Amino acid sequence: MKKLPDNVKKVWLYSAIITIIVEIIIFTAAIIGVKYLDWKYVSYILPVLGTLLVLGALFDMISIPYRYAFHQYAIYDDRVEIKKGFIFRDQATVPIARVQNVDIEQGPILRHEKLYSITIHTSADSHEIAAVTKEESENIKTQVMRLAMEARNAR
Amino acid sequence: MQDKHLNPLALLYHYSDILVAIFLASFISDPLHLNGYMIGTLFVIITVVWDILAYFCFTYSIEDKQIVIKKGVIFKKVIHVPYARIQSIEHSQFVLFRIFDIERLQISDASKSNSDDKIVLNAVKTYVGAILEEKHEKYHRQDTDINDVVDEPELEDINDKTEAKTVEEKKYAQYKVSTKDIVLYTFTSFRVFIAMFLIAHITHGAVIDVAISIYQKGANSNIFSVIIFTVLAIIIALLLSFAYTMIQFYDFTLVKDGKYLEYEKGLITRSKLRLSSDRIQSVLVEQNVMGKLLKIMTVKIIMASDEKDEESSQAVVLPILNGREYEEMMNDFFEWLPRVTTQQHNARRRSIWLFFRNISWILLIIPIAIYFIGWTNTSAVLVAIDVLIFLYILGNSYFKYRVTSIGLTGDTKDDYLILSTGYLFKQSTYYVCWHEIQSMTFHSSVFMKRNNLSYISITIRKGESHEVIGADYVDYDGGQKIYDWYRQ
């Protein structure tokens, strides 16, 4: 089982911080806006919802090292395995023969850290590897697609 | 056959366009201060002219290797479908069109195109369907001969193991539904309640108002009329749901011919579909509480296709079977499906509480509402409803605990996973082959692991999309064993 590159922790940290900032801005604006509208129940709901969301994002931030420790992937000759989650632990297996295509994506934060995220699609669902380095992403793509071709031709 | 037009009767399928035109006209004439009838007539004329133009622009050609469809009034479009790519052809025939020997063909291929490119021949002579069917079969056979060398022996292999003697006879089998079966199906499914709900919904509660007024009158005069009304309502609902089932399943016939399954059904519109058993993603056996008591079940097959509708993604192949017939029919139609279970892991007893807990927040809604709004006249009724919901959830949790299980028919890659779940008092048992499982996920949170529980979910193809099915709260080690089986 391989771990993700080290600087994915930074990516998660940045994205958690951005989420918290955006949530605080939106909810402060909304709470101020609602104050002027005299909406009885909404004025309770918004602060509670806002606090919960911010706490959720904070928990995401704190749990980064644990998530990092548990997010692993492995590519074997016949299957791809992905492990995820610290509290809710998921292990998914996708046989190579079922793989339809492999997507490589890069958002702004990932680009800053020169990382790529990989999504493996079967004909029914998709599985994500949160971040890999550039050469690793190329490797995975070529390896998985080659193996998928072989597996399909062998059938 | 080159550039043939459809039969003019195809225009009849566009009757809904006229209704839409009339509706639209009534909608816009008022704010524009125009004569509604004039606008309506104009719209209808435009629609009819457009439909006729569209009819003349629509042609189909049946060529050697492909079917070509040309359509479009302003934007011309040509669709090529090679016979090898056709998955299935659905024939449906409206009862009045039988006189003209005309039917509707819906051709589904493996593509994921949008609904605009669906290949539908609204009205063609039945021999066109026969020609297509023949060509499709020919190309399909060629295709399998070249590519799928592994597929065939795999099926034969299972045959050899389980019923080596009777393979020859099993090439052909037939099942027909009788009216008695349909009656049984109506009474045991919960359709009656759905029908009652629909009646109340369509009439915007008018029926309920009448019922209440009769109830009030009845309560004043005598209890007798109330009982009569209730009985009458149930009988009407039963009859309606019987009629509905009858229209759907009248003279349902399933025929197995080699590796093809072909079924025919319907009273007003008769539809016929022939499909290869290669396309079956999973066999689904459904049984609700009533069915469990009477030992009857429904068998469906889940297929991958390019359409969303229930018919082409989850077709009912054996509407009603009793316990005795079940074994026999499964042997006849799905002889490749092994029915020996080598290992089975049920939900743990603790799951009754867990299933209950997961949904129990619903119970809190009414108390919270009462807390905020205060105790009013209706509150007592709401509390009673809450108690009923509580009992329902409790019953459902117990039912789920009883039916949830996950098992295997063997240890190799050609074996099947048997996954059984419960939802709304209905047990669904899926038989999925290793090769048809797109991916498997093994979930176990920290808390679940401490309690030795796990959750296994698999993804299979269904229709143009997918379905996730899972067995909740099974034994951790059992779940791990299933997961290891899939990882081999």
Taking CA B112 as the corner, what is the angle to CA B111 and CA B113, rounded to the nearest 5 degrees?
A: 95
Q: Is B480 on the interface with A (CB under 8 A)?
A: no
Nearest CB partner across the interface for B443, out of A79, A90, A124:
A90
Do A43 and A96 share a domain, yes or no? no
Nearest CA in chain A to B281: A124
Of the residues A66, A86, A102, which one is the last residue of a structural domain?
A66
- Please give the pLDDT value at position B211: 66
Do A97 and A110 share a domain, yes or no? yes
Of the residues A41, A66, A91, which one is the last residue of a structural domain?
A66
Beta-bridged to residue B88, according to DSSP, are B108
Do A58 and A84 share a domain, yes or no? no
Nearest CA in chain A to B486: A93
Do A75 and A133 share a domain, yes or no? yes
Nearest CA in chain A to B144: A155
Do A62 and A75 share a domain, yes or no? no
CB pairs under 8 A between A and B: 61
Do A149 and A75 share a domain, yes or no? yes
Taking the CA of residue A112 and the nearest CA in chain B, the distance in Å comes to 32
Do A94 and A136 share a domain, yes or no? yes
Tens-level pLDDT at each residue, chain B (488 residues)? 778 888 888 888 888 888 888 888 877 877 777 777 888 888 889 999 998 998 888 998 888 888 888 888 888 888 888 888 787 888 888 888 888 888 888 887 766 555 556 788 888 888 888 888 888 878 777 655 554 444 444 444 444 444 444 444 456 788 888 888 888 887 777 666 666 666 666 666 666 677 667 666 655 556 677 677 778 877 887 888 888 888 888 888 888 887 788 888 888 888 888 887 778 888 898 888 888 888 888 888 888 776 666 667 788 888 888 878 888 888 888 888 887 788 888 888 888 888 888 888 888 888 888 888 877 777 788 888 889 889 988 988 999 998 898 988 888 888 889 999 988 788 899 999 888 888 999 998 888 888 888 899 999 988 778 889 988 888 888 888 889 888 88
DSSP A82-119: EEE-SSEEEEEEEEGGGEEEEEEE--HHHHHTTEEEEE
Q: Is A48 on the interface with B (CB under 8 A)?
A: no
Do A88 and A124 share a domain, yes or no? yes
Q: Is A138 on the interface with B (CB under 8 A)?
A: no
Do A101 and A127 share a domain, yes or no? yes
CA distances from A40 to A52, B115, B433 (A): 20, 46, 56
Domain count, chain A: 2
Quote the domain boundaries for residue A11: 2-66
CB neighbour list of residue B339: distance below 8 Å, 6 or more residues apart:
B330, B409
* Residue A52 pLDDT exceeds 90: yes
Do A25 and A56 share a domain, yes or no? yes
Q: Is B442 on the interface with A (CB under 8 A)?
A: yes
Taking the CA of residue A155 and the nearest CA in chain B, the distance in Å comes to 6
Do A106 and A132 share a domain, yes or no? yes
CATH of the domain at A97: 2.30.29.30
Do A44 and A15 share a domain, yes or no? yes
ipTM passes above 0.85 = no
Q: Is A66 on the interface with B (CB under 8 A)?
A: no
Nearest CB partner across the interface for A87, out of B438, B445, B486:
B445
**Interchain pair B304, A123: CB under 8 A:** yes
Of the residues A39, A66, A93, which one is the last residue of a structural domain?
A66
Query: Which two structure tokens, joined as six digits, stand for B455?
Result: 């959750």
**Interchain pair B487, A123: CB under 8 A:** no
| pLDDT tens by residue, B291-331 | 888 888 888 888 877 666 666 778 888 888 887 888 888 88
Question: Which residues 105-124 of chain A have a CB within 8 Å of chain B?
Answer: 122-124
